[in-house]
Amino acid sequence: MMGRAHLMIGTGVTLSVMGLAGIPVTLPAAAVAAVSSLLPDIDEPNSILVRTVLPAGVLRVMQLALIAGAVFVYYYGQDYAPWNLFLAGLIGVVSFLPGRTLRHIVMFMIGLGLLQFGQAFSPWNTIAGCVLIISTLVSHRGLTHSVYAAVGWTMLLYFAAQGTMEERSLWIAGGMSYTLHLVADMLTNRGIRPLPPLKFRLRLKLMSTGSKWGTLVENVCIMLTLVLLWYTFIASR
Ligand SMILES: [Zn+2]
């Protein structure tokens, strides 16, 4: 399913259910729901979430910096020949990699950086670092589309919000929105593998992403979500 549909359906349904159940719908809870609706696709370098954090402009700047770095290494490393040429060539090759590969590399590097330098600040940096590194190493719709990931994310939010005002709203918003993403992907013909390494696949084949029928189903689901939102927050008040 497309990111836009995930964002609208996941966030909309989550907030509506919370509203109907009397759970406070706060701004942080809404933000967590929105991020959680896109989070499972973090292993896809062209997904909305990754493109938002690492937009094409940032990648361009990085490519230029890498090319400048390669030139620098070549000129100032001449004492170490032929290694300067070797290293400059390597940096040059990285700078010309396609966007999605570059994003993968950047995500991996940020993950390593968080692990290396983030520990002093908070244990959450370690967790975020691990999430980033693992997500670059697993295949799309692998581990992030499993029951483990949904449970892990929900527990993470549960413990992170302990003792704050958002105690209940956050983990319910995040857990529900993340799970809704998996349910939505379950409807597509690729489906998900909820319990890897078991090969068992949940797949309802109701639609294929990108096809005319698939887009129609997505739009109908988005409309229903808007109706639900309208009912919950306007009509029933
Ligand atoms: Zn997905």
Structure tokens at 169: 């709203």
Measured in Å, residue 237 CA sits from the centre of ligand 1 at 34
pLDDT at 140: 66
Between 77 and 127, the higher pLDDT residue: 77
Measured in Å, residue 6 CA sits from the centre of ligand 1 at 8
pTM above 0.85, yes or no: no
| DSSP letter for each residue of 43-110 | GSTTSHHHHHHS-HHHHHHHHHHHHHHHHHHHHHTGGGTTHHHHHHHHHHHHHTS-HHHHHHHHHHHH
Query: Residue range 195-202: average pLDDT?
Result: 85
Measured in Å, residue 14 CA sits from the centre of ligand 1 at 17
Is it the case that residue 17 has pLDDT exceeding 90?
yes
pLDDT above 70 covers what percent of the chain? 95
Query: Residue range 120-130: average pLDDT?
Result: 71
Measured in Å, residue 63 CA sits from the centre of ligand 1 at 28
* 69, 91 contact by CB (below 8 A): yes
Q: What backbone phi and psi angles, to 5 degrees, belong to 140?
A: -60, 140
Measured in Å, residue 67 CA sits from the centre of ligand 1 at 34
Measured in Å, residue 181 CA sits from the centre of ligand 1 at 6
Measured in Å, residue 228 CA sits from the centre of ligand 1 at 23
Measured in Å, residue 145 CA sits from the centre of ligand 1 at 7
pLDDT at 173: 95
Measured in Å, residue 49 CA sits from the centre of ligand 1 at 12
Average pLDDT along the chain:
86
Measured in Å, residue 64 CA sits from the centre of ligand 1 at 32
Measured in Å, residue 149 CA sits from the centre of ligand 1 at 12
Identify the band that residue 147 occupies on the pLDDT scale cut at 50, 70 and 90. very high
What residues are neighbours of ligand 1 (ion), with CB under 5 Å? 40-41, 185
Residues 6+ apart with CB under 8 A from 73: 84, 87, 88, 91
Measured in Å, residue 137 CA sits from the centre of ligand 1 at 16
pLDDT at 121: 61
User: What is the largest distance, in Å, between two alpha-carbon atoms of the chain?
Assistant: 76
Which of 110-114, 172-176, 186-190 has the least mean pLDDT?
110-114
